[in-house]
Amino acid sequence: MDTLQQAVSVLGSTGSIGQSTLDVIARHPDRYRVHALAAHRSVDALLSQCRQFRPRFAVMVDQQAAEELAGHLADSPEIEVLHGEAALSEIVTDDEVDVVMAAIVGAAGLRSTLAAAEAGKRLLLANKESLVMSGQLLMNAVHASGATLLPIDSEHNAIFQCLPVAGGDASGHGDSKAKVGVSKVLLTASGGPFRTWTARDIENARPDQACAHPNWSMGRKISVDSATLMNKGLEFAEACWLFDLPASAVDVVVHPQSIIHSMVQYCDGSVLAQMGNPDMRTPIAYGLAWPERIDAGVAHLDLVAVSRLDFEAPDEGRFPCLRLARESVAAGGTTMASCNAANEVAVEAFLAENIRFGDIPRVVESTLERVTAVEPHTLGVVEAADREARMVAAEVIGEFNRTNKGQALV
Ligand code: NAD
Ligand code: MG
């Protein structure tokens, strides 16, 4: 085996980010080999990825799905099939692993992401929820182990590219930003599919409308988050943790074309922007190869075809989730973990057509009113806050549905 090749474990390989990651890896067989692939329970998708990438390990968190996969792979004994959440941490901490792509959706990705950070790997962080829930713990783990943290979220990847080069990886920029003249980071937001809709139409938007993002093709959960602007709220928290910035140093700007992926403003009046076609393979390739650059399979940006770039302020009246996330960051402690958990429950209920689109921020707000924040010193405390908020959010949804009884929900 070529020792120059880096061994990569891909968590959430069957999802949108996972597939884009494998697409980039497949373009560079000289640089990368797949050590492990992991997903929840999509057997067919993981099977075809196993056939193409021949990993050492394949993990299905769901046991029945793992048994089914193992049956299909009986002719490939060199691929070991594992199951259960603990297997996710095993395949990222393995000594052979150089790079971990953390692309599981939601709080389910927390433990394995943290395990990769503790093991000192090159951590490509797509699972923003882990940082949002337990930013301090994750950053402490990165610093203690010497892990290399590279943001994959397009906005944070853009900010990372526009920050001064002196400080190493994302976490390494540390507290030197004021010294190097950074005054603000400007997070761009597309505004989502309902940017121009009236509050009344937004209230009753349906799942397929919420998932039809104008510029990006993504998993359903993050697509709904983009439609409520909770995604920008999560990214606001993510930026504060990643780049060690106070909330006052992060502004959100709506930019409907999604060509500028975010910006850094300096004290001399300069604003540096990273631009490109909206394709997650660009930040993924940057994370894989940093500090080098490799082909990502992304078409060059045709600025004449784009022709114009527009900007506007976010409207927190029609999109209260952004306000709720900002307030949760300001409240500190486990508040943002609770906000994230309540949002996950609300989004799931919306996708199952149990609540209206307009109820998502109401569920989050009512949940936050009923939970008490504590200091998130340990993973156990964060997970307890997550569980409590999920229970409360489910109660709130039950109450909404009893109140709404007799009214059509769809
Ligand atoms: P997705 O829904 O397309 O894929 C999710 C993946 O996670 C799948 O492989 C699924 O099998 C796996 N998964 C789900 N539940 C799991 C569980 N309980 N245990 C183990 N695996 C589980 O999601 P996505 O759009 O690829 O997003 C993945 C992460 O990347 C999210 O945190 C999202 O916020 C972030 N992200 C995505 C994009 C994007 O363009 N899609 C952009 C920025 C950030
Ligand atoms: Mg993003």
CA of 71 to the centre of ligand 2 (A): 37
Residue minimizing CA distance to atom 2 of ligand 1 = 219
CA of 234 to the centre of ligand 2 (A): 9
Give the ligand 1 atom nearest the CA of 19: 26
Pocket test for ligand 1, best of 16, 41, 105 (most atoms within 8 A of CB): 105
pLDDT in tens, the chain (410 residues): 445 899 999 999 999 999 999 999 999 999 999 999 999 999 999 999 999 999 999 999 999 999 999 999 999 999 999 999 999 999 999 999 999 999 999 999 999 999 999 999 999 999 999 999 999 999 999 999 999 999 999 999 999 999 986 556 666 544 456 668 999 999 999 999 999 999 999 999 999 999 998 888 899 999 999 999 999 999 999 999 999 999 999 999 999 999 999 999 999 999 999 999 999 999 999 999 999 999 999 999 999 999 999 999 999 999 999 999 999 999 999 999 999 999 999 999 999 999 999 999 999 999 999 999 999 999 999 999 999 999 999 999 999 888 875 454 44
Query: At CA 12, angle to CA 106 and CA 70, rounded to 5?
Result: 130
Three-class DSSP category at 80: strand
CA 334, CA 377: separation in Å to the nearest integer?
9
Pocket test for ligand 1, best of 49, 104, 229, 242 (most atoms within 8 A of CB): 104
Strands 182-189 and 260-266: antiparallel
CA 81 to chain centre: 26
Identify whether the C-beta of residue 323 lies closer than 8 Å to the C-beta of residue 269.
Answer: no
Query: What is the dihedral sign for C-alpha 236, 242, 246, 250?
Result: negative
Is there an atom of ligand 1 within 6 Å of 103 CB?
A: yes
191: alpha, beta or left? (left if phi > 0; alpha if psi -120 to 50): left
Is there an atom of ligand 1 within 6 Å of 133 CB?
A: no
What does the longest C-alpha to C-alpha distance in the chain come to? 65
Helix H segments across 73-125? 85-93, 110-118
Can you give the pTM of this predicted structure? 0.95
CA 141, CA 107: separation in Å to the nearest integer?
17
Give the number of the ligand closest to the Cα of residue 189: 2
